[in-house]
Structure 1
Amino acid sequence: MRPYRVLLVSHYYPPHLGGIENVVRQEALHLAALGVEVTVLTSGERAGTETADGVRVVRVAAWNGVERRTGVPFPVLSPALLGSALRWARWADAVHLHDCLYPTSWAAGAAAALTRTPHLVTQHVGLVEHPSALVRGVQRAVYAVAGRPLLRRARRVLTLNASVADFVRRHGARTERVEHLPNGVDTALFRPTESASARASARARFGLPAGRVLVLFAGRLVPKKGFQLLLDAHSPADGYELVFAGDGDSAALRGRAGVHHLGTLAPEALAEAYRACDVFALPSTAEGFPLTVQEAMASGLPVVTTDDPGYAPYRLDREQVRLVPRQVDALRTALADLAADEPLRARMGRYSLDCARTSFDWTQHARRLLTHYQDSRG
């Protein structure tokens, strides 16, 4: 009997850096480890096929100028996309689309319909409140025209939090087919620091100061992530300094006292940045439970993030994870309190680590995915 075949579809895939691409890579690796035959359909600077760690990656040539010019991660793919999608949808037992906003998902969804291959959707986010009215309008149009039929036809729609679950139901997903499925986290890579000396060494490698409380932000420097709120809330007198890992509007960081910018980091370097810092802060909007929060928790850091209804399914202890309003004063108070209270940081960090180890296991995630794939053929 041949192995079960799955086509994973994502607009980007490593080495391109980002949350969705990291999720797809982990799913691909863990499904392959379970004996599934996995092909990933994605974009690339050049067309080609590669195989590594038991995963076949098919790249369709794409122009990435939209992201370079505007910061919006939206590749423009060559017309060869539909032919590739048809070929691999015909090969697959199930097609798994990641987010219905992108051309890769549109093409693969159409190919799945034409080949009568069941498709599933993981919807990572809802409508992003981008500062550009044009970008917001394009999002709404895409979800109405392309997203709605993809969600409506999907055998399963997998969501990471309650906010996105509401979003997909409003955009056509059948209520009985919407399932909550948390992402996993690589607890071998993202782990607590081993000692004070190891933390000091990590800081030295990044050129970060010793003897100061460091608050880490990891993500793109774009409005929805809330990096400007952190800057507005920060004062060196509050006893901590800010560390930003990510690219985007970096001009806002320059020349500010107690602010350090590490740029975009590969996963191994990002894991070390977590271990170099004392607190993680992400005042983002409409993200629910993003991967960086999970990575920070696996690294044993106390977390300060936005009080988003998307966290509800996770039943977090609000004494141990600070879910605050997306306001400068609330951030300032939460971060100043943590900077001044080392026992509180230690207690919240222990809770983070325990939560990550018990709730965010990639192997269990892959097993649940495989069950959804197999059920979708019924």
Structure 2
Amino acid sequence: MRVAFVSNVVYPFVKGGAEKRIHEIGTRLAADGHEVTVYGRQFWDGPRVATYEGITLHGVAPAQELYTDDRRSITEAIDFSARLLPDLRRNIDDHDIVVASVFPYFPVLASKLGTLGTDTPLVTTWHEVWLDYWDGYLGRLAPFGKVTERLTAYTPHDPIAVSGVTADRLAQIGPARDEIDVVPNGIDVDQIDDTAPATDGFDVLFAGRLIADKNVGLLLEAFDRVADGDVTLGIVGDGPERERLEAKARTLENASQISFEGFLEEYDDVLAQMHAADVFASPSTREGFGITYAEAMAADCTVIAADHPESAAGEVIGEAGFVVEPTVDALADVLERALHGERPPTNPVDAAVQYDWDRVTETARDAYRSAIDRT
């Protein structure tokens, strides 16, 4: 296959979940003899078209800031889409399939225009479907976000969702549920297994962006109730909620046993913290997939997550962790049991193997080939 991925940001020059997925799948496809191209902004030094780890990188636009006031920039997405279209259209006969990452949405629409009148199918990868979340994210401009999301969903394409929860939400605004393939996000099981535990680790760990939906405040209160002796909680990550959460932690009885570590630049350092922890707790109520759960399972943590219709945590964890109501009482109860050694019915390490990137790539490859066969 000749596969073209579309993403305004390119890993490892910009590090995030969606671009890492493209890199992990793309490098494995390339190693298996497929031709892989990524169309993105040129965050790398050197020529506009370059080769990196077997993948052809095609810089269709210069590097640009992705956020404005802590929100993804609409003008950046429009600018990238406008610059993408002529390059993709010019080279479309060199590709058997185009795979566009959602979100943002405008590059998907540009990708569709780039494939019109050709036999090259467009596949989209949906990491989340926001629906009413737009109300809190954009306020009075929320209708603009909702219309754009629905327009993208209705654009003729072959959709892939990273979880069943995301697929179900996508089916509410676009394609039928049985038309949506599910290809999960992945982890490098060997890399996690080979990582040594941190020497400055914690008994309980949270890792993620500090935003309201992660409900770290609930975790702080629940931990404070059960923090007997010298048990510790580490909060790894940064975000707009950090200042408020640190202030909240200072008011708690066991404040001295809570540490905010900030953003860890090196991925291995996060994995080392997971290996050192007994419990990984993230009561997030909005997860399109939840990669940290899979990583923590592979590191043999007892994983605790929140049961919520907008979160795929329960789907990812299954019987290899604990999924509870997002309340302080429920979280404190299971946290206390986990700290006293209670383990889930299924071994977390064994369950995590299903998310290894090698397996995920096989599933993605099959979905891409099916899309080509349908044209």
Query: How does the TM-score come out when normalised to structure 2?
Result: 0.83
Distance (whole Å) between structure 2 residues aligned to residue 127 and residue 63 of structure 1: 25
User: For residue 6 of structure 2, what is the aligned residue in structure 1?
Assistant: 9
Q: Aligned runs of 1:86-235 on 2, under 5 Å? A: 86-127=89-130, 129=133, 131-132=136-137, 133-134=139-140, 136-145=142-151, 147-150=152-155, 153-155=156-158, 157-191=159-193, 199=197, 202-204=198-200, 208=201, 213-235=202-224
Q: Structure 1: how far apart are the matches of 2:297 and 2:175?
A: 31
Helix, strand or coil: the match of 1:377?
helix
Q: Which residue of 2 aligns with 1:303?
A: 303
Fraction of identical pairs, as percent: 26
Contact 1:283–1:306 (CA<8 Å) still a contact in 2?
Answer: yes
CA distance in 1, matches of 2:316, 2:260: 32
Paired residue for 2:51? 51
Deviations 1:243-271 (A, max 9, x none): 22222122134363213223143322222
CA deviation profile, 1:16-55 (whole Å, cap 9, x unmatched): 2222122121111111122111111223457933322101
Gap change, CA 1:18 and 1:41, over 3 Å in 2:
same
Alpha-carbon offset, residue 160 of structure 1: 2.6
For 1:37, the equivalent position in structure 2 comes to 35
- Please give the residue correspondences for 1:44-83 in structure 2 after superposition, counting only pairs within 5 Å: 44-45=42-43, 48-59=48-59, 60-64=61-65, 66=67, 69-72=69-72, 75-76=76-77, 77-78=79-80, 79-83=82-86
Q: 2 CA distance for matches of 1:203 and 1:118?
A: 49
Q: Deviations over 1:288-325 (max 9, x none)?
A: 531111111111111111214545666822xx411111
Q: What CA distance in whole angstroms lies between the structure 1 residues aligned with 2:337 and 2:35?
A: 50
After superposition, give the CA deviation of every residue in 1:209-267 in whole Å (9 maximum; x if it has no partner).
xxxx5322222111222223323433175244332222212213436321322314332
Q: How far apart, CA to CA, are the structure 1 residues paired with 2:90 and 2:225?
A: 57
Q: Distance in 2 between matches of 1:218 and 1:253?
A: 14
Residue in structure 1 matching 2:243, options 246, 251, 266: 251
Tell me the CA shift for residue 353 of structure 1. 0.4
**AA aligned opposite 1:369:** A
8 Å contact from structure 2 (residues 35, 55) kept in 1: yes
- Provide the rounded CA distance (Å) in 2 between the counterparts of 1:270 and 1:169: 35
Task: Kindly report which structure 2 residues correspond to 1:316-335, keeping only aligned pairs within 5 A, or say none.
Answer: 316-317=318-319, 320-335=320-335
Tell me, yes or no, if the aligned pair for 1:279 and 1:303 is still in contact at 8 Å. Answer: yes
Note the aligned Cα RMSD (angstroms): 2.8
Specify whether residues 266 and 105 from structure 1 end up closer, same or farther in structure 2 by C-alpha distance, changes over 3 A only: farther
Secondary structure (helix, strand or coil) at the match of 1:51 reads strand
Q: Which residue of 2 aligns with 1:371?
A: 366
Please give the alpha-carbon distance, in whole angstroms, between the structure 2 residues aligned to 1:315 and 1:233: 21
Q: TM-score normalized by structure 1?
A: 0.82
| Post-superposition CA distance 1:148-202 (Å, at most 9, x none) | 233xx123x2223222111221221133321222222101222276xxxx53xx2
Q: Distance in 2 between matches of 1:135 and 1:276?
A: 44
Shift in Å, 1:62: 4.5
Match of 1:276 in 2: 276
| 1:259–1:34 Cα change, 3 Å | same
Where does the alignment leave 5 or more consecutive residues of structure 2 unmatched? none
In 1, Cα distance between equivalents of 2:141 and 2:207: 23
CA displacement 1:343-366 (0-9 Å, x = unmatched): x2xx44971101012x11322222
Closer/same/farther in 2, CA of residues 219 and 73 from structure 1, 3 Å limit: farther
Shift of 1:285: 2.2
Counterpart of 1:24, as a letter, is I
